[in-house]
Amino acid sequence: MDTQFWIILFFLILISGLLITVLGLAFYIVFTNNNAKTDSAKNTEAIKKNAAPCTIDAPPLVNCHHHDKIQAQAFCSICKLALCEDCVRDDKNIYFCQDHFQLYLQSDWVELETVTTNPNHPEDGMYIYEFKEKIWLENNTPTFVTIHYKIDVESDHIESELKLMARKEEKKFLKEKISPLKH
């Protein structure tokens, strides 16, 4: 009888120890999950509080340069005139007004400058657009920009290849002007 008592006492102590361990583990899990949720909620609120508002700079709705009551669908790649569907001329998704479409067809266009940008450094190509605008405003030198996208789905990497196109006879002169502007 004495041995039986000790065996029963041993199992009772063992079972109560296991029960206390399981209950302690359950409380630990519940407590840490609640703290994690609270911390996560606090972090989310802090991010919302300090985040800048998300805005999209959409181009303003403008009407066609030639038809002031019709909304523009595109801009000339050379002079930036707003054009409706009837006025725009298109070649390989490059849009032109009627005058510059004829110039585009009649000229021999060459690559003047190429730059590759990515989401980390989209500003790398800005000098091309600034140069294009400057030479157009100063002396109506026609150029246009093409953009080709390279997307690697597996690595989730995107690059944009910007090419500034100019007439062949103006390449040397323009190349000298754009060289100092490179970053």
* Average pLDDT value over all residues in the chain: 80
| Helical (H) or strand (E) element with 10 | helix 2-50
Q: Which residues pair with 115 in a beta bridge?
A: 162
Strand locations in the chain, DSSP E?
A: 74-75, 82-83, 89-91, 94-96, 109-117, 143-152, 157-167
CA distance 172 to 179: 11
According to the model, what pLDDT value does residue 18 have? 57
Instruction: Calculate mean pLDDT across residues 92-117.
Output: 94
And the tokens for 164? 């500034």
User: Which tens digits make up the pLDDT trace of 18-53?
Assistant: 556 656 665 566 666 555 455 545 544 544 454 444
Enumerate the domain spans of the chain: 10-50, 67-105, 107-183
pTM listed for this prediction: 0.64
Given a contact cutoff of 8 angstroms between Cβ atoms, the answer to whether 62 and 87 are in contact is: no
Residue with tokens 């298109």: 90
Q: Which residues pair with 71 in a beta bridge?
A: 63
User: Which tens digits make up the pLDDT trace of 126-176?
Assistant: 999 999 999 999 999 999 999 999 888 888 889 999 999 999 999 999 998
Given a contact cutoff of 8 angstroms between Cβ atoms, the answer to whether 89 and 75 are in contact is: no
Instruction: Calculate mean pLDDT across residues 1-15.
Output: 59
